[in-house]
Structure 1
Amino acid sequence: MSVIREKGVRGDPIFKNISAEEDDMQPTVVESLCMNCYENGSTRLLLTKIPFFKEIIISSFTCPHCNWSNTEIQSAGRIQDQGVQYTLKVKSKMDMNREVVKADSATTRIPELDFEIPAFTQKGSLSTIEGLINRAVAGLEQDQAVRRVTDPEVAAKLDEFIAKLKTLKNADTEFTLVIDDPSGNSFVENPCAPQKDPDLVVTRYKRTEQQNAALGIQENDTVDEKHADYLESLKNEVLIFNTNCPECNAPAKTNMKLVHIPHFKEVIIMATNCESCGHRTNEVKSGGATEEQGTRITLHLTNPIDMSRDLLKSETCSVLIPELDFELGMAALAGKFTTVEGLLKDIKDLVLKNPFTCGDSSASDRSEKLKSFTDKLDKIVAGERAHLVLDDPAGNSYIQNVFAPEPDPEMTTENYTRTFEQNEDLGLNDMKTEGYEA
């Protein structure tokens, strides 16, 4: 830990991007006690950052005395606001090579085999789908030699089940892999990025009280009766509080300001500026309640002037560009208060930072698709006609109407009733606001 503190003090990035350069990816070696033979071994710690995901800590222990080894991965970020569930239809051998980050709090299931790996029974891992299956097979085979002597009947059933697991690696038959992580820190690769993956469904949900307890989170059920008055006092005040830089984890300061958007509502703008590494970030949160209906805003981009329109994208808003067959999920870019041009450039930067579409891990055809996509996006920024759609189930997103208070001929706003699944994602189905007894 002293090595980590020294890097933070000097301002060097603690969590570095994955790189093929050895100088950039030097692990920290720590002498550790081997829990197998109780001699001294060594642990290698690598603090790295997966673009398009988050920071992780990879640790690898080896013992030169008994040759025992152990490798695991831990999330270096905070527990997310919502849990996440990945449901993947594995149809081919290529799907077995998808990168997977599985946190120790994640539950892994294969419904076709009625197979489940409960949460907190395995350490976190950075692997592939094939690697997850190999790890499950190794765990089941661990005590088979003893079982064949003490309980041959159970051992025979396990051998039969292990054979079924091994056949999954050939991808001869389609099966479903479900990774359910209440902490929100697990991840499954989307090889179709920046397009939506037709075989992968990502669902975010509100954690239950039991899941919060398992993660060590204590909910605060108290409600501040003076909340409205407090927000009123913040309108002309910039609050400053201490935090850590999301890039290098060094101490930094975050500014927060309550801003009223004309013809819309109040939003909270948060900006962080790190003096150590120079990283800057900003995020926007809605200052109001969830609307009764969702909102779908469609803007027809017909003039380069449209690029300067103010735009508010909440953290629950999806972005669609039909001409590019592109869809950006609600949690990909968090909340932003920017312009149309700024949003398109952020989308381009997000796509280019995806580690599975660039560098040594990128296939040639995937790189060509990525270049074609970014070229088309640049043309739209330069003035080519297209449609921009903001779909926000919470109704907290906004695009500036330059003709206000008159209707905008190039923009349509549609209010719609949310589905049960959308209310579930927003945590509204479990919310009760009436009928409480004193």
Structure 2
Amino acid sequence: MSAIAENKVRGENPFTELSADNENWQPTEVESLCMNCYDNGTTRLLLTKIPFFKEIIISSFNCDHCHWANTEIQSAGRIQTQGICYTLKVRSKQDLNREVVKADSATTKIPELDFEIPAFTQKGSLSTIEGLLDRAVSGLEQDQAARREADPAVADKIDEFIQKLKDLKDMENEFTLVIEDPSGNSFVENPVAPQKDEALTVTRFTRSEQQDQKLGIKAEDELEEEPAGNDLESMRNEVLQFSTNCSECNAPAATNMKLVSIPHFKEVIIMATNCDDCGHRTNEVKSGGATEELGTKITLHITDPSDMTRDLLKSETCAVVIPELEFELGMAALGGKFTTLEGLLKDIKDLTVSKNPFVSGDSSNSDRTEKLVAFGDKIDEIIAGKMDVQFILDDPAGNSYLQNVYAPDPDPELTVEKYTRTFEQNEDLGLNDMSTEGYNP
């Protein structure tokens, strides 16, 4: 534990990506009490990162006296601004091998069996779908001997249900797995990344006040009074600054915030954080206005390398689609960004290829690596103007923008469509009032 504490004090990032090349990277060992035999055992702690996800702490306990063992994970990241829900149609035995991070705040459901594991009843785990089923079976079997003596009828019913869970692994019938996590810190692997996974649906939602309370977040009962002199005009001419912590090393940092007006569009809020300790930089953009009455779908036919210089605003509710690559980047991925088309394409390549531990190290396999590297090459071809593709920004909140270089005249390669949101999209945006403009039953 001292090594972890020392890194934190120095502002270094103690979380390392999994790699077989790092021989010096060892788990931290701590002597701790065994809760089975009450003798001393050993806990090992490993701080690492999950591809397309975030930092986690893996802990493993083993007792040499009674040979009891236990493993669990904890999220080392912050509680996200929105909750997340993964709905997976499990159709084959290959789906059972998908990696899953289940935070302790997540609820797991299998609707076909009317089965639910409530939040905070299990420790967080890094496993597979098959591992989740095995863990559920193990938990139900744990007290069966005592149940059989106290109430044989109940024990028989639980035996029947345990057999149903075991039968799921034979894949005689498809079933649905739902993992809903208000903290936003759970994860289900997409094995065909960067392509869209047709079997997996990922939605984000606004937490309720009750969920905020369970997560230990203090809900604000009322808005604070706006200080005198902080009107809209003064905000346009001033860079505001507030204290925060670095998302990489957790050292104290400062975030700058500025209200910026985009020509032919609207005002946005740009936030930038620079960490003096580790040098990590982030920037994020949020819409300065409310959710629009209609969603917006912007389609650009990329015909020339000069298109890469177009200014682009991608809100955190916007999906990015490139049909020719069968690629879709879901809502909230990469967050909000104000950049150029080239900048966003490079960020997409970094997310799926350059910074993806699945491409190298212990987690890699040849087929996946070749597919992701080929995808990165195609992104480079688009940036160089060597591929004729459609680039689509689909934002149900209507708060995204792509520059019209012919403004105020129409752009022959750019189309902007307004559409009525579906009920599910209103749910994702936290618009639960069915009288809201843009609701489509």
The aligned counterpart of 1:372 is 374
The aligned counterpart of 1:145 is 145
What is the CA–CA distance in structure 1 between the aligned matches of 2:221 and 2:207, rounded to whole Å? 14
Residues 1:101 and 1:138: Cα distance change in structure 2 (over 3 Å): same
Written as runs of structure 1 = structure 2, the 5 A alignment for 1:7-86 is 7-23=7-23, 25-86=25-86
What is the CA–CA distance in structure 2 between the aligned matches of 1:308 and 1:22, rounded to whole Å? 40
CA contact (8 A) 1:300 1:388 kept: yes
Following superposition, the deviation at residue 138 of structure 1 comes to 0.7
The aligned counterpart of 1:95 is 95
Alpha-carbon displacement from aligned partner over 1:274-296 (angstroms, at most 9, x marks no partner): 22222222111111111111111
Aligned equivalent of 2:396, options 390, 393, 396: 393
The answer as to 2:247 corresponding to 1:246 is: yes
Following superposition, the deviation at residue 430 of structure 1 comes to 4.2
The answer as to 2:302 corresponding to 1:301 is: yes
Three-state SS of the structure 2 residue aligned to 1:25 is coil
CA contact (8 A) 1:63 1:69 kept: yes
Three-state SS of the structure 2 residue aligned to 1:379 is helix
Three-state SS of the structure 1 residue aligned to 2:94 is helix
The aligned counterpart of 1:320 is 321
CA contact (8 A) 2:358 2:369 kept: no
What is the CA–CA distance in structure 2 between the aligned matches of 1:431 and 1:237, rounded to whole Å? 38
Matching residue's letter, 2:382 = I
Residues 1:383 and 1:433: Cα distance change in structure 2 (over 3 Å): closer
What is the CA–CA distance in structure 2 between the aligned matches of 1:5 and 1:243, rounded to whole Å? 20
The aligned counterpart of 1:361 is 363
The aligned counterpart of 2:194 is 194
Following superposition, the deviation at residue 133 of structure 1 comes to 0.6
What is the CA–CA distance in structure 2 between the aligned matches of 1:210 and 1:247, rounded to whole Å? 29
Alpha-carbon displacement from aligned partner over 1:211-258 (angstroms, at most 9, x marks no partner): 222222232242356489544322222223332222222232222222
Alpha-carbon displacement from aligned partner over 1:19-70 (angstroms, at most 9, x marks no partner): 2245353222222233333333322221212231111111122233333222
Following superposition, the deviation at residue 106 of structure 1 comes to 1.0
What is the CA–CA distance in structure 2 between the aligned matches of 1:29 and 1:123, rounded to whole Å? 20
Residues 1:430 and 1:68: Cα distance change in structure 2 (over 3 Å): farther
Following superposition, the deviation at residue 197 of structure 1 comes to 0.5
Alpha-carbon displacement from aligned partner over 1:280-322 (angstroms, at most 9, x marks no partner): 2211111111111111111111111111111111101111111
Cα RMSD for the two superposed structures = 2.2
The aligned counterpart of 1:235 is 236
Alpha-carbon displacement from aligned partner over 1:116-148 (angstroms, at most 9, x marks no partner): 111111100000001001101111111122223
CA contact (8 A) 2:108 2:117 kept: yes
The aligned counterpart of 2:312 is 311
The aligned counterpart of 1:205 is 205
What is the CA–CA distance in structure 2 between the aligned matches of 1:430 and 1:188, rounded to whole Å? 30
Matching residue's letter, 2:313 = L
CA contact (8 A) 2:105 2:183 kept: yes
Three-state SS of the structure 1 residue aligned to 2:216 is coil
CA contact (8 A) 1:98 1:128 kept: yes
Residues 1:104 and 1:431: Cα distance change in structure 2 (over 3 Å): farther
The aligned counterpart of 2:131 is 131
Three-state SS of the structure 2 residue aligned to 1:96 is helix
The aligned counterpart of 1:428 is 431
Aligned equivalent of 1:408, options 407, 411, 421: 411
Three-state SS of the structure 2 residue aligned to 1:306 is helix
The aligned counterpart of 1:343 is 344
The aligned counterpart of 2:383 is 381
CA contact (8 A) 1:85 1:178 kept: yes
Written as runs of structure 1 = structure 2, the 5 A alignment for 1:102-181 is 102-181=102-181
Three-state SS of the structure 1 residue aligned to 2:119 is coil
The aligned counterpart of 1:418 is 421
Matching residue's letter, 1:397 = S
* Bigger mean CA deviation after superposition, 44-53 or 119-128: 44-53
CA contact (8 A) 1:239 1:256 kept: yes
Following superposition, the deviation at residue 333 of structure 1 comes to 0.8
Three-state SS of the structure 2 residue aligned to 1:300 is strand
How many residues align structurally? Answer: 434
What is the CA–CA distance in structure 2 between the aligned matches of 1:109 and 1:202, rounded to whole Å? 15
Unmatched 5+ stretches in structure 1: none
What is the CA–CA distance in structure 1 between the aligned matches of 2:433 and 2:364, rounded to whole Å? 43
What is the CA–CA distance in structure 2 between the aligned matches of 1:24 and 1:48, rounded to whole Å? 14
Length-normalised TM-score, structure 1: 0.93
Alpha-carbon displacement from aligned partner over 1:397-429 (angstroms, at most 9, x marks no partner): 111111111111111111111111111111112
CA contact (8 A) 1:268 1:285 kept: yes
Residues 1:271 and 1:302: Cα distance change in structure 2 (over 3 Å): same
* Bigger mean CA deviation after superposition, 158-167 or 36-45: 36-45
Alpha-carbon displacement from aligned partner over 1:45-97 (angstroms, at most 9, x marks no partner): 21212231111111122233333222111111122222211111111111110
Residues 1:24 and 1:411: Cα distance change in structure 2 (over 3 Å): farther
CA contact (8 A) 1:83 1:205 kept: yes
